[in-house]
Amino acid sequence: MALVRVENLVKSFKDLKVIKGLNFELEPGKCIALIGANGAGKTTTLKMLSGLLEPTHGSIHFEGENKDADHRRLIGYLPQHPVFYEWMTAREFLEYAGKLSGLNSREAKERSNELLELVGIDDAKNRRIGKFSGGMKQRLGIAQAIIHRPKLIMLDEPVSALDPFGRREVLELLEKLKQEATVLFSTHILNDAEEVCESILFLHDGEIIESGTMDQFREKYQQSKIDLVFQGRANDYLKSLNNDPKVISIKIEGNKASVFTSDIEEVKSTILNKAVKENWPLFKYEISSISLEDVFMKVVQK
Amino acid sequence: MNQWITLLNKEFLEMARNYKWIWVPLTFILLGVMDPLTTYYMPQIIDSVGGLPEGAVIDIPEPSAKEVFIMSLGEYQTIGILIIVLSMMGTIAGERKSGVAQLILVKPVSYISYITSKWTAALTLVVISLFLGFLASWYYTGVLFEFIPFGSFMAAFGLYALWIALVLTLVVFTSATLKHPGAAGMVTLVTVFVFNMLGSYFSHLLEWSPTKLLPYASEMLVSDKWPEHAWPATGMASILIILVLALTVIIFKRKELAD
């Protein structure tokens, strides 16, 4: 049974149809990444799920909940650019958020202390939020989103604005959150999704163009690629490969080229043979498996 | 109920942190003592700025205590209302504009609590400030001129406070329904101005109008008697406050809070 079932979700702003009919389910206890380019509709989708935006059509159904019930208590949400009351301290804000979510004073206090430690801003807990750096605000944002132990945690681009260290820490935090709740986060950084998520929803231009688990993707797009770097224009050497039935596509950028294939063994030797016979000025020859980024490019181009 | 108290406490804390608890009462007290003092010391003030030319005879009649106090009421009607609108217009619009409302309203917060807690907090601050201002004016009028009976003073305060509460409710309404604090303030001021104009123009037809609360407060002071049409006007003001608050909640609920 899915935690959330989204059916035919549509959102229009005036005449502009931003979300064009989404259908998907979120499995409990999973981490799902919502991937798409800027403007694909990620934020709009999350805002509709969180109740901040009203869908133009379609329904969002939470497991075991009445259709019209207020399901905000089941949700923790972190906007892309969280804004707080600057005059509050981090601890005050967390306790406030906790109490608004239905915790009593004592619970709110305990849970705030616990979370300040978890997200690593314990030393700054009595400082005014107005003095916080972007990374600290992001952590505080995560803490306020999970204070009431929601079943669904939604994070809008939680790591995009962070430096590499902050990114690392937030990703590790997401790993931990996964054990308590379903995590849905949006990102345009594919590596992040690959790292922590089991499932992926590809959003493009307001539509889900591909979805599934990482393993399914690997199977479906089971291709390997050979990266080549030439001294000189790659096009001059690779023309003859175009006719090879085992080669799916060749991507050429100046002196760099990627050859995609379904049969790595055969194409590997074809290329190596040619390279020796025709004396190619090769700089680099590398075999790699397909990454999420390649899948994304392929899917978007379809 | 617990949630409502939490929201209310936050409003009070915010008012303390940005010093509203100091400057709003202070300004109101200043407005209250201004007229008794300047009226009393008018001859000395004229002297100190160079006096009148030789031979000029201007007879300034000594105003009565009641007249002086009613002049104070006029200050609240102009500058007082301006201060109330300016200090409260961002109460909801500001939170939506900055984006913090998104964090708050994604929590299971009741919209009624959110609006009424803000209204209650603002009302508390303004009524206390107004009372301190009135009291200061009453005291200085009493010391420099003559003490007005405390009962009449309290009745006049009650009538006028109700009018101010209505203005405040309007601010909360515009702040909840418009996105920019400036726009909310502007719309409120224009609305109050237009209603005051209409109220005084059609004065004889609109005896029950809340805009008549200020004239009734003056009448109360002059005659020491509860004005004949004061009850319908207070009833009307109370009904309007409840209606506007209800409308605020209804519109706010339907609004899309993001962007």
* ipTM, two decimals: 0.87
* Residue B49 belongs to domain spanning: 2-254
Q: Hey, is the C-beta of A47 within 8 angstroms of any chain B C-beta?
A: yes
User: What pLDDT, on the 0 to 100 scale, is given for residue B16?
Assistant: 95
> Cβ contacts (< 8 Å) between A144 and chain B: which residues?
103
CATH assignment of the domain containing A293: 3.30.70.980
Domain count along chain A: 2
Q: CB-CB: which of B18, B108, B258 is closest to A52?
A: B258
Residue pair A114/A190 in contact (Cβ under 8 Å)? The answer is no
Q: Do A97 and B14 touch (CB under 8 A)?
A: no
DSSP A131: G
Rg (CA), chain A: 24
The residue of A72, A78, A85, A131 whose CB has the most chain B CBs within 10 angstroms, and thus the best one to mutate to test that interface, is A85
* Distances A23 to A6, A10, A60, A204, A210 between C-alpha atoms, Å: 5, 10, 10, 14, 11
Q: What is the pLDDT of residues A77-101, one digit of tens each?
A: 999 889 999 999 999 999 999 999 9
A183 and A275 housed in the same domain: no
Q: Which residue of A has its CA nearest to B258?
A: A52
Angle between helices B20-40 and B65-75 (to 10 degrees): 140
Helix (H) or strand (E) holding B247: helix B230-254
Residue B153 lies in a domain: yes
CB atoms A52 and B102 under 8 Å:
yes
CB contact under 8 A, A83 and B103: yes
Look at residue A270 and tell me whether its pLDDT is greater than 70.
yes
Query: Residue B258: pLDDT above 60?
Result: no
A150 and A273 assigned to the same domain = no
* Highest mean pLDDT of the ranges B101-110, B125-134, B225-234: B125-134
Which of A152, A196, A198 minimizes the C-alpha distance to A175? A196
DSSP string, B130-153: HHHHHHHHHHHHHHHT-PPPHHHH
- Number of A/B CB contacts below 8 angstroms equals 65
In a domain, B146, yes or no: yes
Q: Is A98 on the interface with B (CB under 8 A)?
A: no
Q: Residues of A with CB below 8 A from B108's CB? A: 70, 72-73, 100-102
Whether the per-residue pLDDT at A120 is higher than 90: the answer is no
pLDDT at A249: 80
Q: Which of B19, B106, B109, B259 to mutate to test the interface with A (most CBs of A within 10 A)?
A: B106
Q: Structural domain tally of chain B?
A: 1
A83/B100 touch (CB, cutoff 8 Å), yes or no: yes
Single out the residue in A185, A219, A253 at which a domain terminates.
A219
Helical residues (DSSP H) of A51-104, grouped into ranges? 90-100
- Closest-CA residue of A relative to B4 is A100
Whether A13 and A84 map to the same domain: the answer is yes
The residue range of the domain holding A102 is 4-219
Q: Do A51 and B103 touch (CB under 8 A)?
A: no
CA atoms within 13 A on the CB side of A256: 5
Residues with Cβ within 8 Å of residue A127, at least 6 apart in sequence: A89, A90
Last residue of a domain, one of A201, A219, A237: A219
B221-242: per-residue pLDDT in tens? 888 888 888 899 999 999 999 9
Task: Tell me: do A288 and A240 sit in the same domain.
Answer: yes
Dist. CA A98–CA B93, nearest whole Å: 23
Estimate to the nearest angstrom the gap between the alpha carbon of A206 and the chain centroid: 16
Nearest-CA distance from A127 to chain B in Å?
Answer: 14
- Closest CA in chain A for residue B105: A52
Q: Is A149 on the interface with B (CB under 8 A)?
A: no
Range list of H helices, chain A: 42-50, 90-100, 105-118, 134-146, 164-177, 190-196, 214-220, 235-238, 264-277, 292-301
CATH number of the domain where residue A78 is located? 3.40.50.300
Q: Which of A189, A219, A249 is the last residue of a domain?
A: A219
Residues A122 and A61 in one domain: yes
Mean pLDDT of chain A: 86
Question: B173-187 burial, b for 16+ CB within 10 Å, e for fewer?
Answer: bbbbbbeebeebbeb
Same domain, A78 and A185: yes
In a domain, B219, yes or no: yes
Confidence of residue A290 (pLDDT cuts 50, 70, 90): low
Task: Answer whether A75 touches B (CB < 8 Å).
Answer: yes
User: What is chain B's length?
Assistant: 259
Contact B205, B60 (CB under 8 A): no
Q: DSSP state, A121?
A: -
Question: Are A228 and A214 contained in the same domain?
Answer: no
Residues A85 and A234 in one domain: no
Which residue from B minimizes the CA distance to A78?
A: B103
What is the reported pLDDT for B124? Answer: 97
Q: Does residue A44 share a domain with residue A126?
A: yes
- Asked if A66 and A213 sit in the same domain, the reply is yes
Q: Is pLDDT above 80 for A53?
A: yes
Any chain B CB within 8 A of the CB of A101?
Answer: yes
The larger pLDDT score, comparing residue B138 to residue A273, is at: B138
* A240, A172: one domain: no
Site from A52, A86, A100, A147 to mutate, B interface, most B CB atoms within 10 angstroms: A100
* Collapsed DSSP state (helix, strand, coil) of residue A208: strand
Is A102 close to B98, i.e. CB distance below 8 A? Answer: no
Confidence of residue A45 (pLDDT cuts 50, 70, 90): very high
pTM equals 0.85
Angle formed by the axes of helices B81-88 and B150-177, nearest 10° = 40
Let me know the angle formed at the C-alpha of B161 by B168 and B176, rounded to the nearest 5 degrees: 10
Whether residues B108 and A101 touch (CB distance < 8 A) is answered with yes
